Structure 1
Amino acid sequence: MKTIHLAAAALAATGTLAHAQDDREGWPESFTVGTASQGGTYFAYGSGWANLVADELGLTGGGEVTGGPMQNMALVHTGDAQFGMTTMGPAAESIAGTNPIAPGMTMDNACAIFPMYQTPFSVTALSSSGIESIGDIPEGARIGFGPAGSTSDTYFPRMMDELGVDYERRNGGWSDLGGQLQDGLLDVIAFAAGVPVPAVSQLEVQTDVNIIEFTEDEQQQILEAFPVSQFEIPADTYTTLDGDARSVSMWNFAIANCDLPASFVNAVVDVVMSDNDRMVNIHRAARSTLPENWDKNAGVLPWHPGAARWFEENAGADIPADQIHGG
């Protein structure tokens, strides 16, 4: 208890009295947020909010490199990570027991805590390749789909199959794949990540790239076949774009182990959701990290009680009791 009292005194001294006065019984002294590979949006965004929460609540915490949404569901479910981030598709598969990391395990002890942003699916190639559309991708193209088990690796190969693309599948972290594309070891990278993707922004600085959008027909075909929404990558996302780029997307949510104290999770959500400007300074994708987007969970994940209380009290959320863990 001595550590808790000292932390509370320090917080009061730094002006974060509201959080210091919370009931801190059972709070961890440190925490980790499962993100994804370096060079991707998950790592930048997740490490950013982890550091923000740690600073505001007087705890030790940070982002951890992982394999992405599928692995994060497993880590948070088992309690090996207190927090993580996932996408609605992998979340649904994990709860259904079809997560490839642990087939047959129903990962229902990972709870939703706040909406993050939409993950667009986009394709990048070097301008020198001559690939300007999905139809231009040559037979047997070497395509980097991101880390094994990531949202991109789970869904983008299926999308390419749906669109009739013949390819060799390659995996790796986004920064590594960006280097391979630049070195001619890959023909295409198929990104599923919040925009701007750091690896794409870095490529733009170093070489000429084509950011390839879907045609209207391709977009419609994917919308009919997968749990995604229509999306346009704004023109100001990358210097390469002359206009908005047609895409599809999945929503991302931050998750917590359902057994964490409600007061702790409530305080974490308050730090993240109460000042959007701070989050946007961490990553531009956080422009969608807004209270009104609580409904994008759409019943896929159970809500953590501490998070549900925050959205009910601050965003007018009407979350059914049977969608709240333990409710």
Structure 2
Amino acid sequence: MKKQAILAALASTLVVATSVSAQDRDGWPESFTVGTASQGGTYFAYGSGWANFVAENLGVSGGGEITGGPMQNMALVHTGDLKFGLTTLGPASESMKGNSPLAPGMKMDNVCAMFPMYETPFSVTALASSGIKSISDIPDGATIGFGPAGSTSDTYFPRMMETLGVNFERRNGSWSDLGGQLQDGLIDVVAFAAGVPVPAVSQLEAQTDVNIISMTDEEAAKILEAFPVSEFEIQPGTYQSLEEPSRVVSMWNFAMVNCNVPESFVYEITKLTMENNDKMVSIHKAARHSVPENYDKNNVLPWHAGAARWFNENGYSIEESQIKQ
């Protein structure tokens, strides 16, 4: 009788577990796609790896998609063409206010924050053979690669260069393509805005000598006053050629989600990501900053209720007014 009772209890437990599981997954998509950016950049490596990590652990098919970067991701997630995406807070703010060059006047307010990713440093790279060791060394009329059109780099770096008095010709393309053009002498400089180490720079310095260019105190002060950025140092060892800290500026990135995605799905993804930082770092080193303590760096996007629930349950305070209702 005892054995029968135990078996009956186990069967009851399994039924309850199955029922709870089915309820928790109510409305979950059969698959999902994460908007990243161009190949050779950090977004693509981070986003694709993260999507695969989520898919493997939650049993939902998912993957990364090459896009034009933060601005386009905001548009795709707002409209629901993609459920998830990666964005930088500067472009996110402009998009929410209706100032995106991709859709002028459209306020992209159906996008919610999920979790902090990392800071995007704005860094300049040139071939050592060019003799360019500082921003002031960039010759008049130099051709500068600013990444994909509409990317964070393309949105802000040209304006930064103009603020610093640099006269340049603008070139767009994927980070991999621009790295190749720099190596072939077709452009003079690449102005990267991506989490470090940038795969394209790591690949480039494995094949030739490069200069990772720092800002002077005066240059950094001008940029900090004119743009929504903060100070940042690229540490020695990030790149083989970097022997001392490189002073630059940076902007925070967040993973985002369409606000209509089911709360339970977003909760489970946030939980998985925030509680497994070692796995995230194995996907990309920049993820060492993808920790819950950095949630307060978001001062732009409303929080998804599912993400906010995980943060509030774990001692991080997100007020009701900050959560998309």
Fold conserved (TM > 0.5)? yes
The equivalent residue for 1:140 is 141
- Encode CA deviations 1:238-278: one digit per residue, 9 max, x unaligned: 00001110010000000000000000000111111111100
How far off is 1:320 after superposition?
Answer: 2.0
Tell me, yes or no, if structure 1 residue 97 matches structure 2 residue 98: yes
Distance 1:296 1:94 in 2: 18
Structure 1 ranges of 4+ moved more than 2 A = 19-22
1:324 corresponds to = 323
**What pairs up with 1:259-278 in 2 under 5 angstroms?**
259-278=260-279
Matches within 5 A, 1:1-327: 20=21, 23-298=24-299, 300-314=300-314, 316-326=315-325
Letter in 2 for 1:310: W
Mapped to 1, the partners of 2:240 and 2:320 lie a distance apart of: 46
How many corresponding residue pairs? 309
When structure 1 is superposed on structure 2, of 223-232 and 316-325 the one drifting more is 316-325
Looking at structure 1, the residues matched to 249 and 26 of structure 2 have their Cα atoms a distance apart, in angstroms, of 43
Cα deviation, 1:100-151, whole Å, max 9, x if unaligned, reads 1100000000100000000000000000100000000000000000000000
The alpha-carbon deviation at position 216 of structure 1 amounts to 1.0
Cα deviation per residue 1:182-233 (whole Å; 9 max; x = unaligned)?
1111000000000000000000101010010101111111001100001000
Per-residue deviation, 1:319: 1.5
Q: Which has the larger radius of gyration?
A: 2
Q: Counterparts of 1:187 and 1:267 in 2: how far apart (Å)?
A: 46
Report the Cα distance in structure 2 between the residues aligned to 1:321 and 1:216, rounded to whole angstroms. 40
**Alpha-carbon separation, structure 1, partners of 2:45 and 2:21:** 27
Corresponding residue for residue 4 of structure 1: none
Is the contact between residue 144 and residue 172 of structure 1 (CA under 8 Å) also seen in structure 2? yes
Q: Distance in 2 between matches of 1:218 and 1:274?
A: 39
SS state at 1:206 partner: coil
Q: Secondary structure at the match of 2:191?
A: strand
> Could you tell me the TM-score, scaled by structure 1's length?
0.93
Aligned residue type for 1:324: I
1:285 is paired with a residue whose SS is helix
1:309 counterpart SS class: helix
Structure 1's 219 and 22: CA in aligned 2 closer, same or farther, altered over 3 A?
A: farther
CA drift at 1:25: 0.5
Aligned-pair identity in percent equals 71
User: Aligned-pair distance for 1:22?
Assistant: 6.4
Give me the whole-angstrom Cα distance separating, in 1, the residues matched to 2:22 and 2:288: 30
Tell me how far apart the structure 2 counterparts of residues 311 and 194 of structure 1 sit (CA, whole Å).
24
- In 2: Cα distance, 1:86 partner to 1:297 partner: 11
CA RMSD after TM alignment = 1.4
- Is the alpha carbon distance of 1:240 and 1:98 closer, same or farther for their aligned partners in structure 2, counting shifts above 3 Å? same
Q: CA shift at 1:21, angstroms?
A: 6.7
Q: Cα deviations across residues 156-181 of structure 1 (Å, max 9, x unaligned)? A: 00000000000000000000000000
Letter in 1 for 2:104: P
Instruction: Please give the alpha-carbon distance, in whole angstroms, between the structure 2 residues aligned to 1:21 and 1:270.
Output: 18
Q: Which runs of 5+ in 1 are unaligned?
A: 1-11
